[in-house]
Each structure stands twice: as structure tokens, then as C-alpha cells.
């Protein structure tokens, strides 16, 4: 009886049947999304510690910022999107703003905090919503497909299937790893990742519920078995660590006192501060818009006009999360593209987000378990989700070259330039220029905001 009451409560809050989903599907989707992005709990502290920040404090700040911002997404928009301190933005924070430009990390946190406040203002005044709605539907489909390629590329890199080379990238050399004597430390994990892709693919073909999550868990278990039998040997110098949870330090939550409320506004009126703040703002705004466009398009959440209902709530949760995250002591909090993995599992409501948020909360107490999830286990999920998302390219009108060429440019820019925001910028510029040059702009009724965006993007490339 209590279970039925709980289901009735969840139905009332999240409108499950209206969104063609159920509690089990949403919970699995939430766990899947969390598993694919749990790496941020390990990676973010490592990156920000290079800027002089306390690693334990950043871990706690990362988990809390993710928890709060994701709950806000569920409350404000009832969407299955999960937020956390963003990759790329954290690297810009540590290596460019602090180490290269000479800011203290406290000043960098102040820039993130102010950026979040501006983001909140833009969300409340419909500016970001207007930008979202101004982007043509074919470009929106292209963004979804481009994100698919982008996260697949991230997965290939995380698994070391694709590595740096004289040609920028090349396939991992098993022969080379054997010759170097590190096959048991590195080569075996690449092999496990490839096996993981096949396992996840087979589970999808067979229609197994929770296929992506099962793919992650099975690949991780295979890794544990390899470590137990000696086939996999951790090597910290190669960045290969134990995949078996380490409980020797117990379950205590690391203190956040070293980073909490440590924001320094002493240079807030300087030109350098404004440049840094606007750089954070630009990347955060268009990465978020790109992720919302791409994931929502894949989940068929866009209406007939290509608009996303309740987008203001989604954008507001992202903006508030950024400012709160800065106060906690972490870099820009943003909507994660890995949310696509939960959507691929059928997640359609805020219950997916609440589930993921709960696991971020749980991670504070069970950090040894979540920090042990290896990248070679989550990489197959990203690669397979990339396949699921790239299907959006089929919705692009390839009979109209003025639509198809900008869409193509947006798609290839994301993985090759390693940025969702760059893909949007290239897509918008090419869309406006091609349609203007061919006399199709008036016919297409391109909005004034698209012209403004195109000019701003061009100026960005000229000035930055």
C-alpha cells in the first residue's frame, strides 16, 4: 500500500505517465547518468588542485554543487538533465586563469560567481530563451548529432582507444604497449573498453532494460577480475589506478572549509577580470544551450516550433548552480552532455535528475566506491550514446543546401574543435553568411537575433 502511495506521489510531482515513463525507468536513467559522469568527482579535484586548491575540499564542493544544481533542475523544469562542474571550464579556470594569467584561485572563483549572477539575470530576462528559440530547427538537430560525435570522441580518448600522435590522433598501439612493457597497466584497459562497447551494443540490440548502465557495471567488474588475477596492474605514472574500492580511509566527508566562501572581489573592476568573467560566461552559456538543444532534441522534448518548454527553469537552475558552486569552492557548474545517457535509457522527467542528485549526495559518504569507477568502464557508455545521438542528423533537410551545409559545419566543428560552443558559433555564422550570400535570408525569415549572434561570434574570433 505504501509503495502505491509513493508511486502516486511521484506521479503527481513528476507527471510520469504524461511523459510516457515510469519510476523504474527514471531511476535507472538517473543512475546511468550519474555513472557516466561520476568521473567528475575524481577529475575536478585533480585539475583544481593544480591551481593550489585543497583536493578534499574541492571533492566535497563538486559533489554538493552537482547535488544542489541538479535538484534545482528537477524543481524548476522537471527535466532529466544533470549538472556538475564542467570539463573544459575547470581546465580554463586552473591552467589559464590561475597558472597562466596569474590570478589567485580565490579571484577566479569570484569571476565564476559574478558570471553566474549575470547568467541568472539573462535567464530571468528571456535573453537566453530567445537565443535558444532563434536557432533554426535544422541547426538544432545538427547540434544534437554534433554532440553525439563529440562525446563519442571524449569516450574514445578516456579509454585511450584514440591517443595523441604526429597526426594529432591515432589508434592505440597494442604492439607498442607490449614492447614498452605496459600492456598489463594500460593496454588491457583499452581492450576492456573495446569489449565494453561490444557488450553495451549487444545489450542494446537485445533490448535489455538499463543496457548502458549494465554495460558500465559489467566492464568495471571485468576490470576488477583482471586486477584480482594480476592481468591488470595499476600504474600511477601512467594514470592507471586500482579499480577496487579502497576503504582504508573510511567513509568521512572531506571538509570544505578550505574553499567555502573563499571568493576575492579585489580585482572585480579590472579589465582582466571582465575578460575572464565574459570568457566563463560565453562558454557556459553556449555549452549549456548546446547541451539542452542536443539532449532535448534526442528526447523529442522540443515542440513543433523547435522550442523547449520550461527552458527558463532549466537555464535558471544552471545559472544559480554556477554561483552557488563558486561559493562552495568549484569552477563553473553546467548542464552535462552525459545527461544524454540517461535520456537514452528512457529518462524524461526530473525524477531522473533527483535520482542522479541522490547519488551525488551518497558519493559524499561512499567516495571510495565512486572514485574507483574507471574511465575505461564509463567510456563505452559515452561511445554508444554518441551513436544514439548522431541519429538526429537524419532529421536535417539535406535537400536544402542552405540548411544542410551550416548543419554539417556545426556537426564537424564540435569534435574537431573539442567544444560544443564552437560548433554552435560556426553553425550560426555559416547559416547567416550562406543564406545572405545566396539571397535566401528574407525567405528564411532569419531572426534579428541570429544576425546579432553571428556578428558577436565573429568578433569573438577576432578579439580573443
Provide DSSP, 9-72: HHHHHH-TGGGT--HHHHHHHHHHHHHHHTTHHHHHHHHHHTTT--HHHHHHHHHHHHHHHHHH
Give me the domain span that covers residue 425. Answer: 397-463
CA dihedral (24, 59, 38, 300) in degrees, to 10, reads: 70
257 and 128 in one domain?
yes
246 and 97 in one domain?
yes
140 and 19 in one domain?
yes
Confidence tier at 141 by pLDDT (50, 70, 90): confident
pLDDT at 231 over 90: yes
- 388 inside domain: no
Please count the structural domains in the chain: 2
Backbone angles phi, psi at 172, to 5 degrees: -60, 140
118 and 58 in one domain?
yes
Predicted TM-score (pTM) of the model is 0.75
- Of residues 37, 128, 114, 135, the one with CA closest to residue 313: 128
The predicted model gives 195-203 an average pLDDT of: 94
416 and 368 in one domain?
no
pLDDT at 322 over 80: yes
- 4 inside domain: no
Q: With b meaning 16 or more CB within 10 Å and e meaning fewer, what string describes 252-289?
A: eebebebbeebbeeebeeeeebeebbbbbbbbbbbbbb
Q: What is the pLDDT of residue 131?
A: 82
Q: What is the pLDDT of residue 329?
A: 96
Q: What is the pLDDT of residue 431?
A: 96
pLDDT single digits (tens) 251-262: 778 889 999 999
Q: What is the pLDDT of residue 395?
A: 86
- 453 inside domain: yes
The pairing of strands 83-85 and 168-171 is unpaired
Confidence tier at 224 by pLDDT (50, 70, 90): very high
pLDDT at 428 over 80: yes
Q: What is the pLDDT of residue 272?
A: 75
273 and 140 in one domain?
yes
369 and 402 in one domain?
no
409 and 356 in one domain?
no
pLDDT single digits (tens) 108-134: 999 999 999 998 998 888 787 788 788
347 and 444 in one domain?
no
Amino acid at each position: 500500500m505504501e509503495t502505491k502511495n509513493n508511486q502516486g506521489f511521484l506521479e503527481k510531482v513528476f507527471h510520469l505517465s504524461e511523459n510516457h515513463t515510469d519510476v523504474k525507468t527514471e531511476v535507472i536513467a538517473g543512475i546511468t547518468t550519474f555513472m557516466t559522469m561520476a568521473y567528475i568527482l575524481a577529475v575536478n579535484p585533480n585539475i583544481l588542485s593544480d591551481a593550489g586548491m585543497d583536493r578534499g575540499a574541492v571533492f566535497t564542493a563538486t559533489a554538493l554543487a552537482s547535488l544542489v544544481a541538479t535538484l534545482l533542475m528537477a524543481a524548476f523544469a522537471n527535466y532529466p538533465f544533470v549538472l556538475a562542474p564542467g570539463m573544459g571550464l575547470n581546465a580554463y579556470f586552473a591552467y589559464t586563469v590561475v597558472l597562466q594569467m596569474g590570478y589567485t584561485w580565490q579571484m577566479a572563483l569570484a569571476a565564476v560567481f559574478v558570471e553566474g549572477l549575470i547568467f541568472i539575470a539573462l535567464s530571468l530576462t528571456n535573453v537566453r530563451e530567445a537565443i535558444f528559440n532563434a536557432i533554426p530547427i535544422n541547426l538544432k538537430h545538427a547540434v544534437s548529432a554534433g554532440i553525439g560525435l563529440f562525446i563519442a570522441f571524449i569516450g574514445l580518448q578516456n579509454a585511450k582507444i584514440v591517443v595523441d600522435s604526429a597526426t594529432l590522433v591515432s589508434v592505440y598501439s597494442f604492439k607498442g604497449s607490449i614492447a614498452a612493457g605496459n600492456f598489463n597497466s594500460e593496454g588491457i584497459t583499452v581492450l576492456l573498453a573495446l569489449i565494453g562497447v561490444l557488450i553495451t551494443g549487444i545489450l542494446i540490440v537485445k533490448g535489455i532494460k538499463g543496457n548502458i548502465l549494465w554495460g558500465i557495471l559489467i566492464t568495471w567488474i571485468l576490470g576488477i577480475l583482471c586486477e584480482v588475477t594480476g592481468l591488470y596492474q595499476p600504474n600511477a605514472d601512467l594514470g592507471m589506478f586500482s579499480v577496487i574500492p579502497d576503504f582504508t580511509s573510511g567513509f568521512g566527508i572531506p571538509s570544505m572549509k578550505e574553499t567555502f566562501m573563499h571568493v576575492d572581489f579585489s580585482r572585480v573592476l579590472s579589465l582582466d577580470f571582465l575578460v575572464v568573467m565574459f570568457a566563463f560566461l560565453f562558454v557556459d552559456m553556449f555549452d549549456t544551450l548546446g547541451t539542452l538543444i542536443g539532449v532535448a532534441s534526442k528526447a523529442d522534448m522540443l515542440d513543433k516550433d523547435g522550442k523547449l518548454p520550461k527552458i527558463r527553469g532549466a537555464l535558471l537552475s544552471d545559472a544559480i548552480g554556477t554561483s552557488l558552486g563558486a561559493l562552495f569552492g568549484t569552477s563553473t557548474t553546467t548542464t552535462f552532455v552525459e545527461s544524454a545517457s540517461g535520456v537514452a535509457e528512457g529518462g524524461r522527467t526530473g525524477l531522473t535528475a533527483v535520482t542522479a542528485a541522490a547519488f551525488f549526495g551518497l558519493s559524499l559518504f561512499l567516495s571510495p566506491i565512486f572514485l574507483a569507477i574507471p574511465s575505461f568502464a564509463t567510456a563505452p557508455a559515452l561511445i554508444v550514446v554518441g551513436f544514439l545521438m548522431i541519429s538526429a542528423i537524419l532529421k536535417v533537410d539535406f535537400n536544402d543546401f542552405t540548411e544542410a551545409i551550416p548543419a554539417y559545419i556545426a556537426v564537424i566543428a564540435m569534435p574537431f574543435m573539442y567544444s560544443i560552443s564552437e560548433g554552435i558559433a560556426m553553425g550560426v555564422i555559416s547559416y547567416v553568411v550562406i543564406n545572405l550570400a545566396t539571397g535566401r535570408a528574407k525567405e528564411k525569415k532569419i531572426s534579428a537575433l541570429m544576425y546579432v549572434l553571428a556578428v558577436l561570434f565573429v568578433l569573438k574570433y577576432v578579439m580573443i
